[in-house]
């Protein structure tokens, strides 16, 4: 126990956790407003059309088993590859094609492990697609679906190869201090990723165009002006090529920041679109992408420190056929660690996300001063997206990135506070 406190990676990990706690305490809005009471939520559900509530429950019941199974299988496969010698064996085999060169092991071996881990859940993704089609949510045929899968694999291969080559190159350049460089590099990469995501990754999946000039655009830009949020343009994503769901979001940092609405949203009444965009302006005004990025950057740095600590368990590594944690043969172990960390981090991320979303809802209500349209918009969203308006509490605690429809309507019912 005494030695771990003298390990610089452990000390750094404690410092990063401290920073995470401070950033989360200061920047995440912990209320008010508080999440509405259970009684207020139930009253909100009672006022919704029963067929909307029933459709959301039916869709959730159809899709949840596949999602859980997919999570479970993904985790089991990551653990089997990472915690047995199988992972190291696969990486070594990939390296042998190029005479056992470290770069071949790192990139080909690493990608092989990543692609196996993704591919095992592909049948469940296909099953999910059939459910989405049956419920009228997906507008894609198999051709479009396969093209999407191919795009996402291409992104994994390109981004994965760059990160694997950089990480294992770094461990060779600095065999002792690699973890400090990698922790800093991971944090910078998260920030950079957040900034370039809208211009490098989003266009792989969708086309974006400027919202057509007209009364709606004028109203949205005027509202942004009134809100003190400089918005040059509102972008429309061609989401209808794969879904009937409606959505809007803010992405990017600084010069790449943008407000995007799905083209499917534009089929809804203008005042409901205004209400949605008012919520997104809340994210832009409060710098929510910055908050998420800062927490993500610190989390990534913490993950690297954790790997360095794991590297001290040399006996354990040897049993897996790995000399050191910095050997490409250990890539499956690293991915297994990240899979477990992700499982623990998911509910924490969602607690933070729900607080941020609640503040954006509050902002939308204050900016528009129109709770009735907000409630109608939430009803439309639930109806179109087949949302479970009041999911089981523990499920929502773990998986819910936004307040539930019941909570959001109850919030508006209580406005002004």
Query: Which positions lie near Zn ion, rule CB under 5 A?
Result: 357, 360
Instruction: Give the residue carrying structure tokens 């060779």.
Output: 172
Nearer to Zn ion, 283 or 329 (CB): 283
Cβ at position 197, least distance to Zn ion in Å: 16
Nearer to Zn ion, 357 or 388 (CB): 357
Nearer to Zn ion, 320 or 360 (CB): 360
Beta-carbon contacts of residue 166 (< 8 Å; ≥ 6 apart): 185
Handedness of CA 111, 117, 123, 124 (dihedral sign): negative
Nearer to Zn ion, 297 or 360 (CB): 360
Cβ at position 352, least distance to Zn ion in Å: 13
Q: Which secondary-structure segment (H or E) carries 373? A: helix 371-385
Handedness of CA 405, 20, 295, 16 (dihedral sign): negative
Checking phi first, is residue 209 left (phi over 0); if not, alpha (psi -120 to 50) or beta? beta
Instruction: Give the residue carrying structure tokens 């092991």.
Output: 105
Cβ at position 204, least distance to Zn ion in Å: 23
Tokens of 144: 């479009």
Q: What is the DSSP letter of 176?
A: T
Rounded Cα–Cα distance for residues 147 and 161 (Å):
21
Nearer to Zn ion, 357 or 383 (CB): 357
Cβ at position 356, least distance to Zn ion in Å: 7
How many CA atoms lie less than 13 Å away from 398 in the CB half-sphere? 7
Rounded Cα–Cα distance for residues 197 and 372 (Å):
35
Cβ at position 279, least distance to Zn ion in Å: 5
Q: What is the DSSP letter of 267?
A: G
Rounded Cα–Cα distance for residues 194 and 104 (Å):
29
Question: What does 92-126 look like in DSSP terms, one character per residue?
Answer: HHHHHTTTT-HHHIIIIIHHHHHHHHHHTTHHHHH
Give CA 196 to chain center in angstroms.
16
Nearer to Zn ion, 53 or 360 (CB): 360
Cβ at position 282, least distance to Zn ion in Å: 7
Nearer to Zn ion, 307 or 360 (CB): 360
Nearer to Zn ion, 211 or 360 (CB): 360
Cβ at position 277, least distance to Zn ion in Å: 11
Question: What does 214-249 look like in DSSP terms, one character per residue?
Answer: SHHHHHHHHHHHHHT-----EEEE-GGGTB----EE
Nearer to Zn ion, 171 or 251 (CB): 251
Rounded Cα–Cα distance for residues 364 and 374 (Å):
8
Nearer to Zn ion, 252 or 303 (CB): 252
Cβ at position 400, least distance to Zn ion in Å: 13
């Amino acid at each position: 126990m005494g030695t771990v406190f003298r390990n610089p990676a452990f000390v750094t990990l404690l410092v990063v956790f401290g920073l995470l706690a401070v950033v989360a305490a200061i920047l995440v809005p912990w209320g008010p407003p508080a999440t509405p009471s259970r009684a207020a939520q139930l009253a909100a559900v009672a006022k919704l059309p029963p067929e909307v509530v029933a459709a959301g429950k039916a869709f959730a019941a159809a899709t949840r088993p596949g999602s859980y199974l997919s999570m479970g299988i993904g985790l089991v496969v990551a653990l089997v590859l990472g915690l047995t010698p199988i992972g190291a064996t696969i990486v070594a085999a990939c390296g042998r094609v190029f005479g056992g060169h470290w770069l071949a092991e790192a990139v080909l071996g690493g990608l092989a492990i990543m692609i196996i881990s993704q591919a095992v859940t592909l049948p469940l993704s296909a099953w999910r697609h059939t459910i989405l089609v049956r419920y009228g949510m997906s507008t894609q045929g198999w051709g479009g679906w396969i093209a999407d899968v191919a795009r996402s694999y291409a992104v994994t291969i390109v981004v994965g190869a760059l990160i694997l080559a950089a990480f294992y190159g770094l461990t060779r350049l600095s065999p002792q201090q690699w973890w400090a460089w990698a922790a800093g590099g991971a944090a910078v990469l998260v920030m950079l990723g957040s900034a370039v995501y809208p211009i490098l990754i989003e266009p792989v999946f969708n086309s974006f165009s400027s919202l057509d000039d007209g009364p709606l655009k004028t109203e949205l830009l005027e509202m942004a002006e009134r809100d003190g949020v400089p918005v040059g343009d509102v972008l429309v994503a061609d989401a209808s090529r794969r879904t009937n769901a409606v959505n809007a979001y803010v992405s990017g940092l600084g010069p790449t920041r943008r407000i995007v609405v799905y083209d499917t949203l534009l089929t809804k009444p203008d005042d409901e679109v205004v209400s949605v965009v008012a919520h997104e302006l809340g994210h832009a005004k409060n710098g929510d992408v910055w908050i998420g990025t800062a927490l993500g950057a610190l989390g990534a740095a913490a993950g690297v420190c954790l790997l360095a600590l794991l590297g001290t368990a040399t006996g354990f590594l040897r049993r897996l056929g790995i000399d050191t944690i910095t050997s490409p043969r250990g890539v499956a172990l690293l991915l297994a660690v990240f899979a477990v960390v992700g499982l623990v981090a998911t509910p924490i991320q969602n607690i933070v996300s729900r607080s941020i979303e609640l503040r954006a809802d509050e902002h939308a209500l204050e900016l528009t001063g129109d709770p009735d349209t907000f409630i109608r918009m939430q009803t439309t969203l639930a109806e179109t997206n087949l949302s479970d308006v009041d999911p089981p509490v523990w499920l929502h605690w773990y998986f819910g990135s936004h307040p539930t429809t019941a909570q959001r309507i109850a919030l508006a019912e209580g406005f002004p506070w």
